[in-house]
């Protein structure tokens, strides 16, 4: 064998060894991912999830417990008709049983929001905010239309597209933190602020690239087919490494995120009132933090809520800030900073039920406004 041939052989063996090493890492990461998704009991404060097209083609690398699908207008939604040991999704894509016709005199309440309102990580549907609220307000039917990750823009789109058609007496938005979290997003874009896209457009683009793009682009995407877990792992490590440098944003950006949130909530209130539906926004709580943390997350969230309350109260939007009632909560009521356990959800529902009764939100429907479109 010539010297050139010997060198070429060594290079090929080196590439083969590197490929096998990467393949081994991919197998290990895939095994760990599958193992975390198949745990028999809840071990985290969330459910694993996966993304699908509207027709049911999987887009994400992992097979999560909760199935989400692309959906017109709202970006994504719960895939309908799911049944797991921890939760059920009905044929309309809402958590819980099928929607039954109202009994004479019965009132319908719809809850929108993100993972806290949805009840991610809970052991059963019975531990959710919506179920507790229904029990605390006899004669009501409470529909849990929350979707994990939703921000105020997603919620507004869902209210306008689907929920008003259900003719509820009251719409409750239990939210705030997901919009606030955009304050920490180094890629915050005012053009899509208020919408959580969950990277689904990138997932869809990767799928399209394998079909319609030129050969060079398809070849470039081959590593995403062979090493999806390894690529996701490296991206997560890169994001974690860059977060401390980009996490602290200016007060103007905090003000901008609060303005976007308050604007979307106001529009939900206007749409609801214009359809003769009462509306209530509930600012979700965060767990009591150690003193060292209060100047960061807790302090910024307090400033965010302060700006939101100033704006919403000026527009006469009913508002309940759970954070003002934290004496009722214990640290152990939180599974993490923002997700509550069954008892924590009961406490939130108790405060909401008391507010609804005190302000007679179910007694009389608002008079539909002819100026609804002009107010928007």
The dihedral formed by the CA atoms of 310, 316, 321 and 324, expressed in degrees to the nearest 10: 70
pLDDT for res 2: 74
pLDDT for res 129: 98
What residues have CB less than 8 Å from 62, skipping those under 6 apart? 33, 37, 48, 50
Backbone angles phi, psi at 146, to 5 degrees: -75, 155
> Residue 150 has which token pair?
């939703």
Determine the average pLDDT of the residues in 314-343. 95
Would residue 204 count as lying in a domain?
Answer: no
Would residue 91 count as lying in a domain?
Answer: no
Q: Tell me: the pLDDT tens digits for 133-160?
A: 999 999 999 999 999 999 999 999 999 9
Taking a C-beta distance cutoff of 8 angstroms, is the pair 44, 148 a contact?
no
Q: In what order do the strands lie in the sheet with 278-283?
A: 140-144, 107-113, 170-175, 278-283, 319-321
pTM score: 0.81
Would residue 201 count as lying in a domain?
Answer: no
Task: Encode burial over 55-84: b for 16+ CB neighbours within 10 A, e otherwise.
Answer: eeebbbbbebbbbbbbbeebbbbbbeebee
Q: Tell me: the pLDDT tens digits for 258-286?
A: 999 999 999 999 999 999 999 999 999 99
The dihedral formed by the CA atoms of 200, 285, 162 and 133, expressed in degrees to the nearest 10: 140
pLDDT for res 370: 52
Lowest mean pLDDT among 36-40, 114-118, 257-261, 286-290: 36-40
For residue 168, pLDDT beyond 80: yes
Would residue 38 count as lying in a domain?
Answer: no
pLDDT for res 22: 74
pLDDT category of residue 41 using cuts at 50, 70 and 90: very low
For residue 252, pLDDT beyond 60: no
Backbone angles phi, psi at 316, to 5 degrees: 60, 40
What CATH number is given to the structural domain containing 319? 3.40.50.1110
More confident residue, 176 or 231: 176
Taking a C-beta distance cutoff of 8 angstroms, is the pair 139, 183 a contact?
no
The domain of 122 spans: 103-187+248-364
For residue 248, pLDDT beyond 50: no
Would residue 118 count as lying in a domain?
Answer: yes
Strands (E), the chain: 49-52, 66-71, 75-78, 82-83, 88-89, 107-113, 140-144, 170-175, 278-283, 319-321
Taking a C-beta distance cutoff of 8 angstroms, is the pair 319, 340 a contact?
no
Would residue 32 count as lying in a domain?
Answer: no
Q: What angle do CA 157, 158, 159 make, to 5 degrees?
A: 90
Would residue 220 count as lying in a domain?
Answer: no
Would residue 77 count as lying in a domain?
Answer: no
pLDDT category of residue 301 using cuts at 50, 70 and 90: very high
pLDDT for res 208: 60
Backbone angles phi, psi at 215, to 5 degrees: -55, -40
For residue 58, pLDDT beyond 80: yes
Q: Tell me: the pLDDT tens digits for 76-124?
A: 999 999 999 999 999 999 999 999 999 999 999 999 999 999 999 999 9
Determine the average pLDDT of the residues in 246-252. 46
Strands (E), 202-343: 278-283, 319-321
pLDDT for res 372: 45
For residue 190, pLDDT beyond 50: yes
Q: What is the number of structural domains in the chain? A: 1
Most confident among 61-70, 228-237, 323-332 (mean pLDDT): 323-332
């Amino acid at each position: 064998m010539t010297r050139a041939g010997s060198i070429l052989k060594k290079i090929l063996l080196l590439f083969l060894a590197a490929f096998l090493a990467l393949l081994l890492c991919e197998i290990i990461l895939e095994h760990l991912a599958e193992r975390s998704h198949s745990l028999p009991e809840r071990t985290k404060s969330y459910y694993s999830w996966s993304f699908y097209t509207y027709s049911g083609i999987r887009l994400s690398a992992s097979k999560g417990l909760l199935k989400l699908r692309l959906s017109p207008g709202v970006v994504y939604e719960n895939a309908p008709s799911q049944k797991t040991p921890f939760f059920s999704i009905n044929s309309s894509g809402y958590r819980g049983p099928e929607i039954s016709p109202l009994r004479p005199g019965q009132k319908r309440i719809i809850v929108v929001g993100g993972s806290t309102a949805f009840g991610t990580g809970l052991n059963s549907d019975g531990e959710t905010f919506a179920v507790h609220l229904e029990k605390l307000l006899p004669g009501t039917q409470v529909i849990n239309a929350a979707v994990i990750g939703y921000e105020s823009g997603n919620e507004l789109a869902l209210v306008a597209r689907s929920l008003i058609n259900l003719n509820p007496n009251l719409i409750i938005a239990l939210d705030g933190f997901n919009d606030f979290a955009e304050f920490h997003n180094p890629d915050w874009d005012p053009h899509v602020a208020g919408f959580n896209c969950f990277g689904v457009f990138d997932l869809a683009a990767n799928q399209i690239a394998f079909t319609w793009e030129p050969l060079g682009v398809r070849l470039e995407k081959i590593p995403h087919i062979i090493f999806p877990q390894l690529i996701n792992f490296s991206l997560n490590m890169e994001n974690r490494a860059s977060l401390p440098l980009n996490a602290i944003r200016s007060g103007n950006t905090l003000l901008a995120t609060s303005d976007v949130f308050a604007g979307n909530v106001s529009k939900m209130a206007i749409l609801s009132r214009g359809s003769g539906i009462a509306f209530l926004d509930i600012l979700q709580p965060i767990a009591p933090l150690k003193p060292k943390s209060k100047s960061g997350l807790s302090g910024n969230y307090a400033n965010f809520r302060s700006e939101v309350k100033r704006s919403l109260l000026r527009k006469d939007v009913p508002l309940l800030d759970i954070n003002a009632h934290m004496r009722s909560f214990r640290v152990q009521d939180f599974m993490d900073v923002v997700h509550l356990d069954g008892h924590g959800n009961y406490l939130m529902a108790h405060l909401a039920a008391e507010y609804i009764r005190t302000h007679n939100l179910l007694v009389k429907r608002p008079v539909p406004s002819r100026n609804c479109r002009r107010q928007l």
